[in-house]
Amino acid sequence: MNISAVLLAGGESRRMGKDKATLLFHEKPLWQIQLDLLRKLEPAEMFVSARSDPSWRPDDVQFVADDPPSRGPLSGLAASLDRIRTSYLLALAIDMPLMSETYLRFLFSYREPGRGVLPLLDNRAEPLAAIYPQEVNIDFHSALAGSDFSLQTLTSRLINSGRLRTIVVSDEAREFFVNVNQPADVQSG
């Protein structure tokens, strides 16, 4: 796939109480599960976005720092869009370990020139497992320069402007979007 991929690993993990990236899920750290998944897609380039360069980052994955002050995933996505050499950026959150290669390929198949793909789950955008066209870089930086750092607000504008196409998440695909946010989520996974 001619796409760039970013693993978003810059969260503060307040509910978890420690860095999610190194948590074991089915006996593997979350970062390894997610990077293994992204590698299966054979992206042209891979990034990890975080506040600081993680010690676990493999050499073949480029580090992208959130521009301070960090505005959460908005910062990581904007910084990643600045660096890509392809037309699209696949974003994947560190805490969605049930996401599948098949589903990500499905999303990729719905992109169009200058238009990315955004899953909707219960009428709510899932911007941390989405495909963004390089052209939205300016929109991300405009949002960073403003006062509303919500990805829901930004993705709504991008949908209305035709830059993102929405795909309703089917009942069968809902499990892919389960987040690991608290210690109990790791045990139940």
Task: Show me where the domains of the chain are located.
Answer: 4-188
Mean pLDDT value across residues 50-74: 90
Closest CA to 88 of 43, 24, 49: 43
Mean pLDDT value across residues 83-108: 97
Q: Tokens 């760039």 belong to which residue? A: 4
In angstroms, what CA-CA distances link 177 with 66, 71, 166, 188? 24, 22, 15, 15
Residues 6+ apart with CB under 8 A from 179: 93, 95, 96, 185
Q: How many CB atoms within 10 Å of residue 111?
A: 20
Residues 6+ apart with CB under 8 A from 38: 5, 7, 46, 90, 92
More confident residue, 151 or 16: 151
Verify cis geometry, omega within 30 degrees of 0, for the bond prior to 69: yes
Residue range 9-60, pLDDT digits in tens: 975 544 444 578 999 999 999 999 999 999 999 999 999 999 899 999 999 9
pLDDT of residue 19: 76
Q: Tokens 């109480």 belong to which residue? A: 17
Whether the pTM exceeds 0.85: the reply is yes
Mean pLDDT value across residues 67-85: 91
> How far apart, in whole angstroms, are the C-alpha atoms of residue 5 and residue 45?
6
CATH number of 4-188: 3.90.550.10
